[in-house]
Structure 1
Amino acid sequence: MKYLLGVDLGTTAVKVGLFDSQARKICSSTQEYRLITESHFVVEQEVSVYWDAFKAGLREVLVESRLSGREILALSVSAQGETMVFLDEAGRPLSRAIVWMDNRAQEEARFLAGRFDPDEIHRATGQTDVIPLSPGCKVLWFKRNRPALFERLGKILLLEDWFFFRLCGETFGEGSLWCSTHMWDIRTRDYWEPMLRELGVRREQLPKIVESGTPLPAILPEVAAELGLSEEILLVMGGLDQSCGALGVGNARPG
């Protein structure tokens, strides 16, 4: 029998679940961590914490199930929204991850709200307001307050994107996470160019957009060896945790 691995990249824990091919749960693991809150508005996390928590959870479910990682057929994720990772050209984090609830970009939210007509923002992004939680505002904060790091910027990723980058070495994103960034056009299901221009962000600094459920490139051989997984494991693009939760309770069609 082959098995499936589900990973939830949560705000305060990574959860790893092992399922059989009929989607029956075999076992699961929860690996908790503390957020870094150095001031009233700042909420961060070391990017390595997410990876280490995933590895610990994977080890735990394999020990409990007495299965080999090479028996896992496919892996996908659900992920917290809006948490951001800035990488340099070599793929190394330029800073800690900025967690979704971080509220530092107060001034940037006011500035961007004044640069666009509210109706235009709503039509393009589906968002009713520009708030400091928005990744778009945090990109502008990073540009204004970390200019030397912004000059070295290679990629702007959300946490789901970074996790798959860590697995396969390429960058992919999807709409259920990017739709709340103010950088995503819900009409075209692509990046919103007026906001990218305002932020000074190039399209090549953002991940390639695919649909949730899309098979991704193969896992890197060295990562498969690190995790004890097969090099043939199928990596499948996931989605926002709240969207995945809605599907999980059967909310999959109108009504």
Structure 2
Amino acid sequence: MKYMLGIDIGSQSLRVFLFDEKLEAVSHRSTAQYIEVERPLWATQNANLWWPAICGSIRSILGETGVDPKDILSVGCCAHMHGAVPLDKQGELLDENIQLYCDKRTYELVGRLYQDGTAEELYETAGNIPATSWFGLKIRWIRENQPKLYDAIHKVLTPKDYINFKLTGMACIDPTEASGSLLLDVATGQWSDLLIRKIGIDREKLPAIVPATAVVGEVSRQAAAETGLYPGTKVAAGSGDMPTSMYISGIHRKNVIVDLSATTGVIACHSRHPILDRRLLNIHSPVSGWIVYRSLDGSGADYRWLRDTLAAREVYEAEKARADPYDYLSSLAEKTPAGANGLLFLPHFLGERTMGSMHSRGAFIGLHLGTELPIMTRALLEGVAFDLKRTIDVLEADNVRAEVVHHVSGAAKSPVWSQIKADIYQKPVYTLQGNEDSVLGAALLGGVAVGLFSSPAEAVDAAFSIKDIFEPNPCNKQLYEDLYHAFCQAHDALQPVYERLSIHY
């Protein structure tokens, strides 16, 4: 039996899975990860925790299974996107506190790009508007605010590419991450001298761009000694976690949109070319074409906040019964009427990238003395769905045909949330078997790189299987339409309030 290893660095967990040729998960390990919020608008993660967690997980898996490391044919990695990992000439990490995709400290730089007209110059070349999430702007922030560190940089990598570097010693980046930099020419697929000059960084600090299914190198002797992998094991370039999840979720299928709701919520479709709509973002697909999307920098992160902040008793009861606290909270939401008794939730705890302000915040609207946790839980699940529906409306206005929704990642484990989304979207929602999503996708890209599959499409077809179908409940259609309009009104009305609050906080 031959095997593929998949690695996924998430904002809440780091996962390592070993899959066999039948795509069965033979063994896996998960290590908790945390978002550090040192000050408002900042969101970082400690990069020094990733490699020890990966090494320990791989060694533990090998010890448990007894798999011969020589039988692991490939390693594929994905990770949260856009983080700027600075390395010196010796390949040492210069700063462990990595800006995450949801870190918005570059907002002043983004503002300057709009004020001086540069944003419009960049748009057609980059295929994206300037946003605080982009990799290139994070590098520029380092240049402006940490000049000594910037001068010491030899290469800047993304989190996934940093792990590939630790495994192989090769510094490179794939098109999904390169297209999320504001430095890539979408027409040529190469770094743009124009964009690099306008953003104001040094080209030599950027890595080479290679296809996601390319072998970037082999596990080095040092990495083999630390991980237990066999030296010479092939390592694929891989792709960012979101496009990897989209790939494994069947986004390339006809008339499909994907709802990926993990820490962040994403609605996306596949397109042959970027869709130039300033409310949307464009990321290169791991295989071909483009993933057109909008992100909600909340979703699972907001749900975790509710669990940790408001549901201590319920979490205790669930753990005492050896149940998943989220399953327990979902059961509370299921017993609550649709519409949450008129309670609205705005899920923008981490601000907005598009269709709102980086200063947007979360809010419950309609609280009264009788409001209890089950109603707040239901309102949170509905509020996330309302916000994601805004993206579906934009895609359809841009002539994207969306007949079904593939619901994947953490939220898809909740039948209650899937049904809520079917009712609010007014579309059938499919959940998929396995739901390992990004980590399986990472492993499959590794398998494609070494020839275990003849094509990326064959790999996905081998893994793709529908689990459940949730049809819209016609009884809830009018209610949710009314509440959706109220949600959009509340969102727009609160924008000036958030801007005023941001002056002081």
Structures share fold, TM-score greater than 0.5: yes
Q: Deviations over 1:6-33 (max 9, x none)?
A: 1112112111111112322212221112
**For 1:195-246, what per-residue CA distance to the aligned partner results, in whole angstroms no more than 9, with x for missing partners?**
2123443332111101111012222111112111111311111112122212
Shift of 1:115: 4.5
User: Letter of the aligned partner of 1:137 in structure 2?
Assistant: L
* Partner of residue 212, structure 2: 212
Does the 8 Å contact 1:75/1:233 carry over to 2?
yes
Shift of the 15–171 alpha-carbon distance from structure 1 to 2, 3 Å rule, reads same
CA contact (8 A) 1:161 1:207 kept: no
Q: Retained in 1: the 8 A contact 2:113–2:119?
A: no
Q: Is the 8 A contact 2:5 2:19 kept in 1?
A: yes
Q: Which residue of 1 aligns with 2:99?
A: 98
Q: Between Structure 1 and Structure 2, whose CA radius of gyration is higher?
A: 2
2:201 is the alignment partner of 1:177: no
- 2:53 is aligned to 53
Mapped partners of 2:64, 2:229: distance in 1: 16
- How many Å separate the matches in 2 of 1:139 and 1:183? 11
How far apart are residue 34 of structure 1 and its match? 2.0
Q: Please say if 1:122 is aligned against 2:123.
A: yes
Partner of 1:239: 239
Question: Could you tell me how far 1:119 is from its partner in structure 2?
Answer: 4.3
1:110: which partner in 2? Answer: 111
Q: How does 1:156-235 map to 2 (within 5 A)?
A: 156-235=156-235
- 2:216 and 2:91 mapped to 1: Cα distance? 18
Asked if 2 retains the 8 angstrom alpha-carbon contact of 1:173 and 1:209, the reply is: yes
Q: Could you say what secondary structure the match of 1:7 adopts?
A: strand
Residue aligning to 2:315: none
Q: What is the Cα deviation at residue 157 of structure 1?
A: 1.1
CA contact 2:154–2:205 (8 Å) conserved in 1 = yes
Aligned CA distance change for structure 1 residues 72 and 157 (closer, same or farther; 3 Å): same
Query: Structure 1 pair 143/202, CA: closer, same or farther in 2 (3 Å)?
Result: closer
Counterpart AA for 1:151: D
Pairwise CA RMSD: 1.8
Q: Check whether the contact 1:16–1:29 (CA below 8 A) recurs between aligned residues.
A: yes
Unaligned runs of 5+ in 2: 256-505
Larger proportion of helix? 2
Measure how far apart 1:175 and its partner are: 1.0
SS of the aligned residue for 1:217 comes to strand
Which amino acid counterpart does residue 111 of structure 1 have in structure 2? R
Whole-angstrom distance in 2 between the partners of 1:87 and 1:22: 38
Structure 1 residue 193: Cα displacement: 1.4
CA distance in 1, matches of 2:64, 2:27: 7
Percent of matched pairs sharing the same residue: 25
- Check conservation: 1:3, 1:72, Cα contact below 8 A: yes
Mean Cα deviation higher: 218-227 or 111-120: 111-120
Query: Could you tell me which residue of structure 1 aligns to residue 379 of structure 2?
Result: none
**Range with greater deviation from structure 2 (67-76 or 169-178):** 67-76
Query: Residue by residue, what CA displacement relative to the aligned partner does 1:34-91 show, whole Å, maximum 9, x if unpaired?
Result: 2222111222222221112212222332233232333311100122111110112222
Distance 2:171 2:179 in 1: 17
5+ unaligned residues in a row in structure 1: which ranges? none
Match of 1:6 in 2: 6
Residue in structure 2 matched with residue 37 of structure 1 by the alignment = 37
State the 1:118 CA deviation.
4.2
1:75 is matched with which residue?
75
TM-score (norm 1): 0.92
Offset of 1:192 from its aligned partner? 2.0
1:62 corresponds in structure 2 to 62
CA deviations on 1:83-111 (whole Å, 9 max, x unpaired) are 11011222212212222111111211112
* Residue 408 (structure 2) aligns with: none
- CA–CA distance in structure 2, aligned partners of residues 116 and 190 of structure 1: 24
Query: 2-side partners of 1:70 and 1:40: how far apart?
Result: 47
Q: For the structure 1 residues 115 and 182, does the alpha-carbon distance in structure 2 shift closer, same or farther, using more than 3 Å as the test?
A: farther
**Greater than 6 Å deviation, 4+ residue runs:** none
Amino acid paired to 2:108: E
Pair 114,89 (structure 1): closer, same or farther in 2 beyond 3 Å: farther
Contact 1:78 1:241 in 2 (8 A): yes
Contact 1:31 1:56 in 2 (8 A): no
